[in-house]
Chain A
Amino acid sequence: MPAKQRRVPIESGCPDGMQYMHPVMKRNFGQWHYHEDPKPGVLKHIAHGGEAIWTVRAGTQRILDLFTLRKLCEIGDRYADGYLRFTIRSNIEFMVADGAKVDPLIEALEGSGFIVGGTRNSVTSISHTQGWLHCDIPATDASGVVKSMMDQLIGEFRAWNMPNRVHITTSCCQINCGGQGDIAINIQHTKPPKINHDQVANVCERPSVVARCPVAAIRPAMVNGKPSLEVDERKCVCCGACYPPCPPMQINDPQHSKLAVWIGGNHSNARGRPTFQKLVAAGIPNNPPRWPEATAVVTRILAAYQQDAQDWERINDWVERIGWPRFFELTELPFTKFHIDNWRGQQKSLNASSHLRF
């Protein structure tokens, strides 16, 4: 075959967003004064000069097929001004300069199956990962968990019932691409990897797999006359870090990979410093296609938060005020030895005081 002339890439990098920006936003760039929340899913921003822009936010299925993408474009052209953006949680936002366009736009979106909401003190879209649809190391699906959970939480997406905003995330392995959340639903492996010793020597760079283990539980070994790896199962914390660089160390297990729920992760600096999420429940079955047990734990936590937290308290603020004994009492979740940290730096999570709650 004759060598084809290969096209040299144009290394243009990140495109300039200004070319796609609504003219009202371009005109008032850096000149916004304040915003109002006329109703759930709608923001109205007012510039110092008096101009305003309305935003309508809607939840989507995140994995968009082209029919859905084109439907969103059609709605954008017919009912909005043709300008849109996506939030970090994959909500779509349409911007319009004329307030009279807001209601017809909402009607068109809802009429086409998109859910308007996700602003202010709602439960907004769940930030999630690829799962079985595309990831190489997932123990569960992401889109399916999220679809099932959002079907239950849809009323909270559309409303302003919560004390403050609620960000939920899911992750399909313990690397946790979903990130920190007020509530995070993450895979928690409970058994060490099962090693296919016939493949290790061919597939894995053994020293880098050894180096990858956070607790030094992996060491090189000859197994059945072949160079392989072995795991000290008493040391192993079942994190799965060895699996991506060495797929023969299978960590995912249909029965033993469970779901865990973590709460109180908060990226914002508002009130307190940003916080990491804390384990509250584990051992939840990884149960497709709708994972009802995971949704049940999440709705129980949300109900307690909604009832007991004060205005503006995020979940971490709420628990900081009421304390963990009360959290476990209100949610009726069991408190176990697994909740007590044994990793380095553990002492800062222990109660070194006589501040106690009864």
Chain B
Amino acid sequence: MNKHQTPMLDQLESGEWPSFITGIKRLRDHHADPRIRETTNDLLGQLEHSYETIKGYWKGGTVSVFGYGGGIIPRFSEVGELFPRSKEFHTLRVQPPAGNYYTTDCLRQLAESWEKWGSGLVTFHGQTGNIMFIGATTENTQQFFDEINDYGFDLGGAGPCVRTAQSCVGSARCEQSCTNEHDIHRRLVNNFLDEMHRPALPYKFKFKVSGCPNDCMNAIERADFAVIGTWRDEMQVDQQAVAEYVAVKGRNYLVDNVISRCPTHALSLNEDDSLKVDNRNCVRCMHCLNVMPKALSPGSDRGVSILIGGKRTLKIGDRFGTVIVPFMKLEREEDYERLVELAEEVIDFFAENALEHERIGEMIERIGLVNFLDALNIDMDPNMIVHPRENSYVRTDNWEQEAAKWIERKNSAA
């Protein structure tokens, strides 16, 4: 094997941060299997070529495993004649366990399979949340999938379909968790495996679940359907721990970093150094709980909020998801069934009404939130807006009828 010269890539081996180039070279120089050595050699050759010419050389195509239409990112080299051993270099997107938990045994099992059929390069995880097995030929793609599918791993989404979901570390190791993130994640995504494996939606559709409003999964910005854990009663305050905090950090620090950073001025410090909370005006921003995790905890009447429509720029500009369900309990089996049902209704409406390559957030922007809520039979709620309309171009013909709905809802809730 003639090793490609890589003078530019070699410069990424100096410095203290772990080097991916050194890693790829280890496969090229030390792996027992000549197939892996030769593949990674040509991969390094092509990457060096990119660095020299400041250009990418991969193109897409169509590759899938038997029975599925998605889950593989096909990559064929445009300079395959120069680098023939890596000319087919597809990525398999594999769904990780909810919460990204592994044992070393599980990772070794995946490593053994990947060693048999792939390049030996893997990422935990891609930006959507998949395990990315990077670099398999068209033929080996099927072999690798068959093997890992037998012991419990399945492909994720690629293309216009329901995508792999993400959930945070959650109840397994976080005091801020307000719900069972992994259960929600699996119930949602595993209900839509047909929509994931056989792409037929207008465009991608992502679920992400964060257990509290810190939103470590970036759900509001990156998910079409964001589930955020929250609570609606009073936050729990351990006044003894508050006093200990003041004793250690000082009153001034508490005022500057907790009291005055509350976005709705819902906190104040009593004369005796105990904390007073105006819970009706707390917006569950999490700041004070983050600063004083021992003293302050979420309330005990917990559930989730649902926001729809987060996405990045293309095509109409960035959008955050917006609230369509301010609060729902997730305790009984029926609650979870209602959540899955809601997701089905949302996806059905999206499938029927979005334009090609239009995300649900863009569709809502085009048709208006009210039309979307009407179609889904969801009641309007002032928690869905930052403020009412400022633009006076609106027809209010049936105002009485709409006002009556609100009054009726209010009365039946009372």
Q: Which residues of A contact B (CB under 8 A)?
A: 6-21, 25-26, 29-30, 32-35, 45, 53, 55, 59-70, 72-74, 76-77, 82-88, 90, 92, 95, 113-115, 127, 129-141, 143-144, 147-148, 150-151, 154, 174-180, 208, 211-212, 214, 239, 241, 247, 252, 254-255, 257, 265, 267-274, 276, 286, 288-290, 310-312, 343-345
Contacts and interface: CB of A to CB of B under 8 A. Distances in A.
B299 interface: no
Contact of A178 (B55, B114, B127): B127
Contact of A15 (B66, B95, B105): B95
A69 B107 contact: yes
Interface stretch (B146-154, B266-274, B394-402): B146-154
Interface in B264-320: 284-287, 290-291, 293-294, 297, 312-318, 320
Contact of B56 (A30, A139, A174): A139
B17 A115 contact: yes
Interface stretch (B8-16, B334-342, B367-375): B8-16
Contacts of B410: none
Interface string B147-191: 001101111000000001110110111110100101001100110
Contacts of A61: 17-20, 22-23
Top 3 A-B pairs, shortest CB-CB distance: A151-B15, A254-B54, A65-B23
A16 B111 contact: no
Given A143-B20, A179-B222, A212-B315, A30 B177 contact: yes
Report, as a range, how many residues of chain B touch the other chain. 35 or more
Interface stretch (B255-263, B324-332, B345-353, B377-385): B255-263
B293 A15 contact: no
A313 B406 CA distance: 40
12 contacts: A8-B66, A10-B154, A13-B186, A14-B154, A20-B101, A21-B101, A33-B297, A63-B134, A66-B111, A84-B101, A132-B50, A270-B287
B12 A174 contact: no
B20 A147 contact: yes
B215 interface: yes
A274 B220 contact: yes
B51 A70 contact: no
Contacts of A82: 103-105
Contacts of A60: 18
Given A32-B177, A65-B121, A141-B50, A19 B221 contact: no
Nearest to A276: B318
Given A21-B172, A175-B312, A9 B145 contact: yes
A147 B12 contact: yes
B204 to A, nearest CB: 12
A6 B66 CA distance: 7
